[in-house]
Structure 1
Amino acid sequence: MNETSTASALDPRTTITVRCPGDGRIVGAVPEMDEAAVAALAGQLRSAQPAWEALGPRGRSVHLLRWLDWLLDNERRILTLVQQETGKSWADASLEMAVAIDVINYFTANGEKFMADRTVKAAGAANKVRRLRVQVRPHQLVGLITPWNGPLASPMMDVVGALVAGAAVLCKPSEVTPLAWTEAVRGWNEEIGAPPVLGCANGAGATGAAVVDQADMVMFTGSVRTGRAIAVRCAQRLIPCSLELGGKDALIVLADADIERAAAGAVWGGMTNSGQACVGVERVYVEAPVYDRFVTLVTEKVAALRQGMDQPGSFACDIGAMVTSAQVDIVADHVADAVAKGARVLTGGHRSPGGNFFEPTVLVDVDHTMTCMREETFGPTLAIMRVSNEDEAIALANDSEYGLSSSLWTRDRARADRLSRRIEAGSVSVNNAVVATFQMPIPMGGWKNSGLGTRFGGAHGVLKYCRQQSVVEERFALKSELLWYPVIPAKARIIAKLTRLMGAHDWRRRLGIGRS
C-alpha cells in the first residue's frame, strides 16, 4: 500500500492517490468507498460487536495490548507512512506513536474500573427499601472521522476509548492522509487475531456523510464548518456527537514570567507539526516590560529552526512541510494581510521552494483587525502583540470565536489560578504550552466554536461512548405497594400527611397548619 506501483493496480475512478507534501512524489493509494460499501462494512461491524462487548473490558484490553505490540514491532514502517503522507519532520512523526502508546496503556489499565457498575445511595426515606445502581452499555457502532494533521495520533486519541467501551468503530481518516491509519486498521484485522470490530472507510465528504448516517454515535475532529453539518445531521437522527473543532489559541506572558522558558514554550507551541495543530499557539500577548526581550528571544529561536523532511530515524529537522498546498495558501494570505495592515515580519514570511513549505514566521505590530489574529491560521506563524497589563491580555485572549486551549506564564501561582478562571477556553496550560491536550485524566474540549463535548477526562474517555442504564431493585418482595391500585381514601390521606411530615422544613408546614 505504500508502494508507487500499488496505485496502478487500483481503479483510478475509485482510487485515492497520495502524494508526499515535501516533494510531490506518489507514496501510495487506497480504494475509495461509496455509500453502499460503507453500509456493508457497518453491517459487518455491527454483527461482530455483541461478541466484542461480551468479552468485558479486561478481555477487550488483551487485544488492544496485542495491537500495541504490533504497532511497536512495525513502528519504523508505520511512522515512515506518516512522514511520507504528511511531510512531517521525523521528530514530529515519532510523536504520533508516543500518543498511541500512552492512550492504549492508559485506557486498558483503567477500563475495567471506568466501566464498573456504580452503586448509588437512595434519596428519600420511602426509597430506603430499594437498591440503586447505574450500569453502562456501549453504543453499538461509533463513527470516527479524523483530520489530516495527525494520521495516526488523531484517531488513536478516540478509537481506544470506544473499543475499551465495547463499541465497534467505523473510522474515516482524511482522504489526504489515509495510508498510516489504513495500515494500522489492517494490522488489527489481519495481524493480531482481533475480532473484526474496527473498520476503515476511505473517501472524501460523501464517505464521511455515509459514516455519520450509519453510526450510533459520532466523534469528529476537524473544521467548524464540517462540524456544524455533522451536528445537524446527528440531531436529525437523534444520535449523540462529540466535536473537537478549530482553535485560535492564545499564549499570555506576564512580566513576572520566566521569559527564557516562555519564549521557548511559545516557539514549541506555535511551530510543532509546522503549526498544524488545533491546540497550537497562534496568538501571543506579552506585558510591555518584557515584550522586547521576549520578541528577541522568540525571533532568534524561530530563525534557528531546521525545516525540511529528514530521513526516517535521523531526527535531523525540527519541523517539516505543510500537508496541503491549500493550507500554505491560507498561511500566506494571513501573513500578507497582516503586513498590508502594518505588521512587521521579523523572520520568515515566505513560501519555500520544492514542496508545501512555509518559512517559520514571527509577526509583530499586530492587532485584532488582522486576519492572523481572528481566523485559524494553522501554520508555522507566531503573531505577538504588546499589552499594558493582565486585564488587557485576558480581554484580547477572550476576543475570539474560538476557545480550545490557552497558555498562561507567570511565577505567581495565586495569580495563575485567578487569571485561569477568566480565560474562555477549554484548557489552560500554566508555564507550558500544548501539554493540557494529552493529559488523559482530565477533559480536553473546546468552548464557543471550538467544539461540543470533550475527549479523555479519565472515565469519561470511555463512558462517552456508552449509554447509561439505571437499575432499581426492591430489597423486599412485598405483595403490594402503598401507591398501587385500588386507591383507598383513608390510606391515601395518611400517605399525603406522611409525605408532608417528612418533606417540609418547619413544623407549621409539616403539620399542615394554616394551609388553604
Structure 2
Amino acid sequence: MTFQTAHILPGTLDDLAGEVSADESDESIPVDAPFTGERIGDVPACAPSDVTAAVARARTAQGEWSSWSVNRRADVLLRCHDLVLDRQDELLDVMGLESGKVRQDGYEEVLDVATNARYYATRAEELLRPRRRDGAIPLATKTIEYRKPVGVVGVIAPWNYPLTLAVSDAIPALLAGNAVVLKPAEETPFSALLVAKLLREAGLPADAFRVVTGRGDEVGPALIDAVDFVSFTGSTETGRTVAERAGENLVKCSLELGGKNPMVVLDDADVAAAVEGAIRGCFTNAGQLCLSFERLYVQDGVYDEFRRTFAERTRELSMAPSLDYDVEVGSLVSERQFEKVREHVADAVDEGATVVAGGNARPDVGPYFFEPTILTDVTEEMTLAREETFGPVVSLSGFSEEEEGIALANDSDRGLNASVWTTDTDRGWRIARGIDCGTVGINDPYHATWASVDAPMGGMKDSGIGRRHGREGMRKYTESQTVAEQRVASLAPPRRVPTKWYARAMSGVMRLYKRIEEAR
C-alpha cells in the first residue's frame, strides 16, 4: 500500500469482524481500501435469522438499559465523548482505510459524534422530563405527558460518513432508553464496529448496541421487520422502499435521503469567501456528502470573477491516497460510484457541457480517483442536471434577478441543503427563507447548520421525512403517554341533570375559557 495506518494494530480489523454474531451464515463480505482497491478484511454476511437474533438480544438488554436513570445513561455517553476524542487517530485511520476519505474530512465525523454525545447527554433529562399539560378543567384535571422509549431502534447507515451516520443518530436513541441494532454499509463496516467497542468501554451494556453486517437486500428487510423504529440515511429510491416496508409493519421511520443541493452567490457577495465556501461545499469527501452542492448559481455582477477564481482554486486542490491532514481530496468509495461519476460527466460533455476545471479520472493516483470538476452550459436533458451525482462535480450557471436565483434553487424535486452568499444580512435571510430546503446556510456551506445541533436538520420534498438533531432528534425515538387524573367534578353529565341543561352550561363554560385564553 502507498499509505500508512500508524494507529491500527495488526489484527484489529479481524478482531472487530469477530464481534459480529453470524451463527446462521458461513459467508463473508470482502472490504476493500478505495485508495488502492486492495482487500483489507472481511465481515460476516449475516442471514435474516442472525438479524432476528440480534434484535432479540437487544430487546432483552433494552429492559435493563431503560431502567437506568437518565443521568446514569448520560454518564455513559459522556465517557464515549471522551473516548472518541482520545482514540480519534485510530478512528480516523479506520475511516480513511475503508472509505477513502482524507483525514481532514474524517475529523469532521469525530467532531460530530463528540458534539452529539455532549449535547444529548447534557440535555437528555430536560428533553425527557415529564411535562405538566393543561387539563380539561383547570384545577380539576391534572394532566402529565410522559416520554417512553419505543424499544429497539434499527439504524441503516450509508458508506459516505461511516462514523457520523452510524453513531450520531444512535446517541439520542440510546439516551431515550432504547436499544439499537445498526446495519452499516457493506463498504464501511469497521468504523461502526470500532465505535460499538468504544460504547462498551464507556459502560453501555453489550447487547444494547448490536451491529449486523451483511448485504442490504437481505439484512435490511429483516431488520425493518424486527425493530420498533427505523432510522435510514441513503438514496431517495431506497428510502421509498424502506418507508413502504416500515409502513406495512406500522413502524415509524425517519429518512434522510438524497439531495441536489443549490448554492446561490449574489452580486454583493465577497467573492473570495464564496469561492472557499464552494470548495468546501462541493468537494468535501470528494463530493460524497448528502449536503454538498451540485448546482451553483452566481448572479451576473460577479459571475465572471467567481468562475475564474473558482476554477483556479479547484485546479489547485491536492489529491492523494493519504491519511495525512494536508491532503484535500480523497477517493470515491468504489468502482460503482466511480463509474456513476464518470458516466454523468461524459454524458454532459457529449450533450454540450463545457469543462471549466477537472473532468478526468486519475488512475495515476488511485483506481477510483476523479478530479474535482466544474461544468458550465449544463442543460435539462443531461443526466447530472437532475440526478444526484454524489461525486466531486458541480454545474455552474449565471442568473440576473434575485427572484430568478430563488426559482433556480427551488427547481428540483429535492430539498435538503442550500447556501446563500451575500454581504447584506437582511438580503441573505430573506432569500434563505424563500428556498425550499430543510437547512440553508448564509455565507457558510453546511458547517453552521449541521453543527447547530440544538436545531432540527432534515429534508423537504423528496429529500426525506423526519428530523435529526435538537428536540425532534430525540423525541422521535419515544412514544408520548398522557396520564390524566380527574380530581373533582366530571366531564360527563351529572346524574339527574337533564342533558339539555348540561349542554347549555358547558357551552357557557367554553365561552368563558375562550375569553380567558384570549386574555393571556
SS of equivalent residue, structure 1 residue 459 = helix
SS of equivalent residue, structure 2 residue 444 = coil
Deviation at 1:459, TM superposition (A): 1.8
1:10-29 alignment, distance < 5 Å: 14-29=27-42
* CA offsets 1:309-360 (integer angstroms, 9 cap, x no match): 224xx31300100101111111111111221222111111011113210011
Letter in 1 for 2:187: V
* CA offsets 1:61-81 (integer angstroms, 9 cap, x no match): 111122233333332222111
1:129 aligns with 2:136: no
> Could you say which residue in structure 2 is the equivalent of 1:73?
86
Cα distance, 1:385–1:469 mapped onto 2, change above 3 Å: same
8 Å CA contact 2:374–2:395 kept in 1: the answer is yes
> Aligned match of 2:368 in 356, 362, 371?
356
Q: Distance in 2 between matches of 1:77 and 1:27?
A: 15
> Aligned match of 2:486 in 474, 485, 488?
474
* CA offsets 1:99-156 (integer angstroms, 9 cap, x no match): 1111111110111111111111235xx4540111111001110000000001111112
Deviation at 1:4, TM superposition (A): 9.5
> Aligned match of 2:269 in 244, 253, 257?
257
Deviation at 1:254, TM superposition (A): 0.8
Deviation at 1:413, TM superposition (A): 2.1
1:499 aligns with 2:512: no
Cα distance, 1:482–1:74 mapped onto 2, change above 3 Å: closer
> Aligned match of 2:75 in 62, 86, 93?
62
> Aligned match of 1:342 in 341, 348, 352?
352
Cα distance, 1:38–1:290 mapped onto 2, change above 3 Å: same
Deviation at 1:6, TM superposition (A): 4.0
Which protein shows a greater Rg?
Answer: 1
> Could you say which residue in structure 2 is the equivalent of 1:116?
129
Deviation at 1:362, TM superposition (A): 1.1
1:333-412 alignment, distance < 5 Å: 333-353=343-363, 354-412=366-424
1:414-433 alignment, distance < 5 Å: 414-433=426-445
Provide structure 1 residue ranges, at least 5 long, that are not aligned to the other structure.
506-516
Q: Distance in 2 between matches of 1:83 and 1:2?
A: 16
> Aligned match of 1:224 in 214, 236, 246?
236
Letter in 1 for 2:269: A
Q: Distance in 2 between matches of 1:187 and 1:36?
A: 26
1:229-244 alignment, distance < 5 Å: 229-244=241-256
TM-score by length of structure 1 reads 0.91
Q: Distance in 1 between matches of 2:442 and 2:295?
A: 16
Q: Distance in 1 between matches of 2:503 and 2:418?
A: 55
> Could you say which residue in structure 2 is the equivalent of 1:172?
183
Out of 392-401 and 361-370, give the one that drifted further. Answer: 361-370
Q: Distance in 2 between matches of 1:154 and 1:483?
A: 51
Deviation at 1:431, TM superposition (A): 0.9
1:302 aligns with 2:278: no
Deviation at 1:408, TM superposition (A): 0.8
SS of equivalent residue, structure 2 residue 168 = helix
Letter in 2 for 1:150: Y
Identity of counterpart residues, as a percentage? 37
Letter in 2 for 1:335: V
8 Å CA contact 2:84–2:114 kept in 1: the answer is no
8 Å CA contact 1:2–1:28 kept in 2: the answer is no
Deviation at 1:96, TM superposition (A): 1.5
Q: Distance in 2 between matches of 1:349 and 1:264?
A: 20
Q: Distance in 2 between matches of 1:261 and 1:73?
A: 33
1:182 aligns with 2:189: no
> Could you say which residue in structure 2 is the equivalent of 1:50?
63
Q: Distance in 2 between matches of 1:382 and 1:282?
A: 4
8 Å CA contact 1:64–1:104 kept in 2: the answer is yes
Deviation at 1:261, TM superposition (A): 0.6
8 Å CA contact 2:456–2:471 kept in 1: the answer is no
* CA offsets 1:252-283 (integer angstroms, 9 cap, x no match): 01101111111110111000000000100110
TM-score by length of structure 2 reads 0.91
8 Å CA contact 1:4–1:28 kept in 2: the answer is no
Q: Distance in 2 between matches of 1:249 and 1:106?
A: 27
8 Å CA contact 1:286–1:385 kept in 2: the answer is yes
Q: Distance in 1 between matches of 2:153 and 2:327?
A: 37
SS of equivalent residue, structure 1 residue 428 = strand
Aligned-residue CA RMSD (Å): 2.1
- Aligned pairs, how many? 494
SS of equivalent residue, structure 1 residue 443 = coil
Q: Distance in 1 between matches of 2:197 and 2:219?
A: 19
Letter in 2 for 1:475: R
Letter in 2 for 1:494: W
Q: Distance in 1 between matches of 2:144 and 2:336?
A: 52
Q: Distance in 2 between matches of 1:334 and 1:89?
A: 24
